[in-house]
Structure 1
Amino acid sequence: FMPLLMGAQVILASAATISQPDRLAHVLANYHVTMLQAPESIWQAFVASGWQGQADLTMLIADPTDTQLIKRLIPLGKAVYGCFGSAESGIISLLAPLQIDQPIALGRPIANTKAYVLDQQLNPLPIGATGQLFISGDGAAAGYFNQPTASQQRFMPNPFLSNGKQLQMVATGLSAKWLADGRIALSDQVAVTGENSATATPPAAFEFRPQPTQIILPMGRTEAVVADIWRAALDRETVDANADFFALGGHSLLALHILAQIKDKLGATLSLNTFLANPTVAALAKQIGNGSL
């Protein structure tokens, strides 16, 4: 809704258009698009296709990491920005220009948004120290609708506010650090997962539940395929069939990726609500078997 609130027009491209750089470039030019937010994979495909750029286009790269891509994009448009957002924290929570000879970063908190890099005891960390990224603000969600267990894994009251506001703080599951210029960058480890994570140890109302990492056998074919998808997405060697997705470091954007993989490998189209209500390999596989799509 942000572009609409600013009086801008929103162009919705189909999945087929997004997957083909030449078709997407035609949409940008035909509709005089002046801003495009997309993941690195889309921008990489653009550059690889020989796209010549668009002088008035502001390019937003979600979760940027590719230095060479940024260098190639900067001459092709008006400006290049790094950004971060999620369904939980807001579609855009962090935003800042990307420039040559500067460290890559997700960005700075936008207006009415607070960002925190915290240690395992939820203490704020200094510049350069690695911890988990938390987001709070007017754009952040209060929790998952009718999903109290999943909400407890990702949300807690913000303990740092002194203005009387009652806002939630979202655990993003990302390992990050403050840069000296006030931007936030990903650490060398892109995602916080399992024993390598900087996951906080919060109060009981926000408890992350440790889970074993072995696969419980035997598994049916569907469950085994789902487990393989989870292992790849969470970057783990093994995944317990009864481990909670969010306790393993998962988040809603990763859940959408997993749902796409399930559709591709098993032909089952599950909703995000179904995933949130069944956030384990075993439960999700059972929903596929029951036809709860």
Structure 2
Amino acid sequence: MPWKKRIGELPLHLMILPGLILIVLYSYGPMFGFIIAFQKFIPARGFFDSKWAGLDNFRYLLEMPESRRIVVNTVSIALMKIAAGLIAPIVTALLLNEVRKEAFKRGIQTVIYLPHFLSWIILGGILIDILSPTSGIVNQALGWVGIDAIYFLGDNDWFRYTLVATDTWKEFGFSTIVYLAALTGIDPTLYEAAVVDGAGRWKQTLHVTLPGMSAIIILLMTLSLGNVLNAGFDQVFNLYSPQVYESGDIIDTFVYRIGLVDAQYGVATAVGVFKSVVSLVFISTSYYLAYRLANYRIF
């Protein structure tokens, strides 16, 4: 009977309740603060007594000379991270898939996965030390082969690439495990048929392995497109300095400085609203393209 079935499912719904409460408190509740973007917000007066500013905060934002540079920095860093974050784990998963010694394979997986668990506060200190132009081990190694020291974290020509390389090093191990899991779902008889047709390992990779991984590749690529305006606040904040604002200042670090340091809460919230709207457009478009081009639906 339907009512008995619903009563039997009640414990399952109660299990969802704590997560639902957290979502309401920390995801939907703060949305009321979007009103700050349209006010001359003064914390002492609160939401209801602060003066209404309309679109003035957005106009001020667009007129700021550094606005265009910050958006370009954010998009370029995010796109490079997305590309590297897709290519590196796919290549690593394909290489590990060819390893036949399970102990060695699992050891490599563990080593490349470990950085994922370290925060950028810890990694920031480590990277500042090893990339130091005077005492860092990387520049010492470059000196041994006759290359001048490079100021990776203080040179605008190098800072973006340093961000991308270190972020990829930290996170590609996690994605590699996801792709290795996808490889286990490929039908072994497809490889047997490919061998009968005379396909070598390279041909098998092109015509069996990669098509078999296509669903998870499209899924992760689709989800990553929603982060085009999210270039990684934790990483950038712990590694950047005023010397590299020109190439490394992103939307999130700009919001931090203008909102929490300069106390321009209305403008900072306007930037956040702009970022949220653009991200929504990107993720909606990516879902549509995934369905149209690959007939893949997440929901």
Shorter-chain TM range is: under 0.3
Which structure is higher in strand share? 1
Which structure is higher in helix share? 2
Return the TM-score normalized by structure 1. 0.23
Return the TM-score normalized by structure 2. 0.23
Larger-gyration structure (1/2): 2
